[in-house]
Amino acid sequence: MATDVLDVIRTKRDGGVLSDEQIRFFVEGYTAGTIADEQAAALCMAILLRDMEAGELATWTRAMIESGERLDLAGVGRPTVDKHSTGGVGDKVSLVLAPLVAACGAAVPQLSGRGLGHTGGTLDKLEAIPGWRAELAVDEVVDQLRDVGAVICAASAALCPADRKLYALRDVTATVEAVPLIASSIMSKKIAEGTGALVLDVKVGSGAFLPDLDRARRLADTMVGLGQAHGVRTVALITDMDAPLGRACGNGLEVDEAVELLRGGGPPDLLEVTLALAREMVALAGLDAGPDPADPAAALDDGRALAVWEAMIRAQGGDLDAGRPMATVHHDVRAPAAGYLRRLDARSVGVAVWRLGAGRSRKEDPVSPTAGAVCLRKPGDRVEAGEPVLTLHADGQDRLDAALAALDGAVEVGDEPPEPRPLVVERIS
């Protein structure tokens, strides 16, 4: 067994292949606290720059799973299926998807995370609801899946503790984009949580961690392979993230838009992506066959999904009747000319929202439930010169300048509308 963490870092820094012993030594040591954050950060950066081979990644993922306990969902009484997104701007799909698929007859154990970089975190969004709890005991998770059908919560401290530490570290060390670290982080948690099936939403475009289609495809292939190897039926959809998804970006604003969709409204792009993922989940759970196949669109239209949402939020202490604070400062970003909105850059909007306070610079930072942005126009819309395209929401004037700097060049207007981009780019199974 290797005993020198510097040797582990040097091996990967110099382009070498980490041995199984080195990987287990590092994961066990970092989990136990005998390896320091700065040493782990150095190894994460080396992996980002040097990559990992398939054998290394398999061992790394296995070590992450074995760093803690595994959840047993055999007693929930429904087929289990989960979904994970690699993160985007305005991506509040999980808030709708978990209750929607539960309304179709599945159990959805969604162990979610907090914001990483310029993208929002599902737990940060839900914590905008007064009283809502992210931290649940294992028996609470199982009981809620049995009674309600859906749960969105933080992974317990006993589940993949190695990932819990590395996830927060990556956010503040510019190593979020490393494909092996993304794949192992997502799949170790999903395998450990005990779900029988998994649908992955791999984002591509300017607002994604992996803007390039080839790298997004590689990540999707890698994760599908890891899932299948561990007995989890896994499918991936590659979806577009060149512009924000929906109109709301920011924690509380996204909760409001998710509820709007559950009530039969909401933006059409958000609806399309949500239903595409829901249909994949229903199929993997085996609920799309037989004399009465589940139909996610019907469950959305007839109010069943909304009822599950309300039950899910209340089960975790959320007060759906309580008023929420609102941002005190609003600022419109206006169209520079008349014509068609050709581009509203998702990454720029995400960085602006992060700077407004919806994201964190350090892993211990709080996030604002009210900060964010609302897209008043989307690419392809006709705009007039000076017309508001984006409204920024902030808790104080002091954050506006940095947010506006992030949006420099993000709004592009031209004489012709842009070529339409498919929202679902590819399916990988």
How far, in Å, CA of 360 to CA of 167, rounded?
13
Q: CATH for 81-315? A: 3.40.1030.10
pLDDT in tens, the chain (429 residues): 547 999 999 999 999 999 999 999 999 999 999 999 999 999 999 999 999 999 999 999 999 999 999 889 988 999 999 999 988 999 999 999 999 999 999 999 998 878 766 777 899 999 999 999 999 998 999 999 999 999 999 988 888 999 989 988 987 898 988 889 989 999 998 999 999 999 999 999 999 988 999 999 999 999 999 999 889 999 999 999 999 999 999 999 999 999 999 999 999 999 999 999 999 999 999 999 878 899 999 999 999 999 999 999 999 999 999 988 899 999 999 999 999 999 999 999 999 999 999 987 766 778 999 999 999 999 999 999 999 999 999 999 999 999 999 999 999 999 999 999 999 999 999
The DSSP bridge partners found for residue 329 are 394
Q: Which residues are catalytic?
A: 84, 163, 170, 185, 189
- Residue whose token pair is 């705009």: 383
Question: What pLDDT score does 118 carry?
Answer: 77
Residue type, 37: D
Give the number of other Cβ atoms within 10 Å of residue 220's Cβ.
26
How far, in Å, CA of 101 to CA of 107, rounded?
8
DSSP assignments along 129-147, one per residue: STT------HHHHHHHHHH
Question: What pLDDT score does 40 carry?
Answer: 97
How far, in Å, CA of 244 to CA of 89, rounded?
5
Question: What pLDDT score does 2 carry?
Answer: 47
How far, in Å, CA of 358 to CA of 251, rounded?
7
Residue type, 33: G
Question: What pLDDT score does 94 carry?
Answer: 97
Is the domain 5-50 a CATH 1.20.970.10 member? yes
Q: Residue 317, by phi and psi: left (phi above 0), alpha (psi -120 to 50) or beta?
A: left
Domain ranges of the chain: 5-50, 81-315, 329-414
How far, in Å, CA of 271 to CA of 254, rounded?
14
Judge if pTM exceeds 0.85. yes
Instruction: Identify the CATH assignment for 329-414 out of 2.40.50.100, 3.90.1170.30, 3.30.43.10, 3.40.50.2000.
Output: 3.90.1170.30
